[in-house]
Amino acid sequence: MDFRFTEEQERFRQEVRDFLHRELPSDWPFNGRLAEESDEWWDFTLSWLRKLGGKGWIALTWPEEYGGKGRPLMDEVILSEEMAYRRTPGVQVWARWKMVAPIIMGFGSEEQKRRHLPGIAKGEVTWCEGFSEPGAGSDLAGVQTQAIEDGDNFVINGQKIFTSLAHRADYCFLAARTDPDAPKHRGISMFVVDMKAPGITIRPLINIVGSHHFNEVFFDDVRVTKKDLIGEKNRGWYYLATALNYERSGVTLPAMNKRLIEELARHAKETPGNGGMLADDLMVRQKLAEMAIENEISRLLCYRVAWLQSKGLVPSYEASMSLLFGGELIRRIANTGMEILGLYGQLTKKSKWAPLRGTIEHLYLSSLSAGIAGGTNEIQRNLIAILGLGLPRG
């Protein structure tokens, strides 16, 4: 078994690194000059995504017939790793596209492909996911938002919640119930909804770190045409599950963790403590070593998912393993980082005394959602038990 990248892949990694070094501002991420989720932050994010689109990197692995470069999936893994390590803007936006585009390519009509794929490839349009509802989060098959046929249209009524960047998005990738009498997994359809359509109301949800990232979205008699139905009516659960497997398989998390662990190690070597440097403390050294080991495991789990996808397979429990392990690891890193930094770890990025520009304080709070987003840890364990171990459904 050979875990090395090919020479061509290593050349591509260096190309990506050179691009990031050349195009990102030298003080990125601006030393806190841009407030997270602010309008200025969003404008910079959009300009950055258009740069990636101009390089052809957003559609790096797409078939050439859809405007892609037809490159191997591992090239996208390399690109995602390097971008996440440098904390480039738009990583979450790009993640939405990597869910939507494969579903449109695989199940959408030719008209939908021509209408939506070029804008995604160029970084010119943004999407949100209309999945979670107040009564349907981890159990997405419980969605109650309805789409009722009316001639050549569907009329949508319902509510979505925790919709990331809905206030910024051009389109929504929406799950709605089209057959209320069918078993819950068989009556769902997927739609493309223009976020400027009449009847859509967006209310902000301010998260624990004070950012406007999530939203409530209300649909009141929102009309979409039948051309906006993705694939077959009532087959949406299959498309939805496929999309979630793309979300759960990203390699960005271990790449971001790697940089954070390196920064904590550097801080320990440069900061006095207990009569020497923090790095001399046996407990600090052991905690950093343990995090490095676990993050390498997380990276390999992500590589396994990418390998399965590169073979044309759809990872199921493998993606759940990757998401579960990575989500729990980020919490452990946040807790360990807080222990290493001590009381200074509680300082926000607004304080000039905050170590690592307040990254640990931000991570400590935001990591609370790591076991929820994309499906709770309990759901992931259940999927691993059923699909990976063949245990009966509880």
The one-letter amino acid at 14: Q
Query: Is it true that the peptide bond before 29 is cis, omega within 30 degrees of 0?
Result: yes
How far is CA 72 from each of CA 57, 61, 301, 311, rounded to the nearest angstrom?
Answer: 12, 6, 19, 10
145: alpha, beta or left? (left if phi > 0; alpha if psi -120 to 50): beta
Name the token pair of 295: 């993050």
**Distance, CA of 196 to chain centre:** 24
The one-letter amino acid at 297: I
CA 158, 161, 163, 169 torsion-angle sign: positive
Give the phi and the psi of residue 256 in degrees, each rounded to 5. Answer: -65, -40
The one-letter amino acid at 50: R
- Distance CA(81)–CA(78), nearest Å, equals 5
- Distance CA(17)–CA(82), nearest Å, equals 7
DSSP code of 388? I
DSSP of 244-262: HHHHTT-SHHHHHHHHHHH
CA angle centred on 250, ends 247 and 255, rounded to 5°: 145
Of the residues 37, 129, 247, 318, only one is catalytic, namely: 247
- Contacts from 379-383 at CB under 8 Å and sequence distance 24+? 379/138, 379/139, 379/320, 380/320, 380/321, 380/323, 380/324, 381/320, 381/324, 383/316, 383/317, 383/320
Active site residue 247: yes
Burial of 186 (0-12, 13-18, 19+ CB in 10 A): middle
Kindly list the catalytic residues: 247
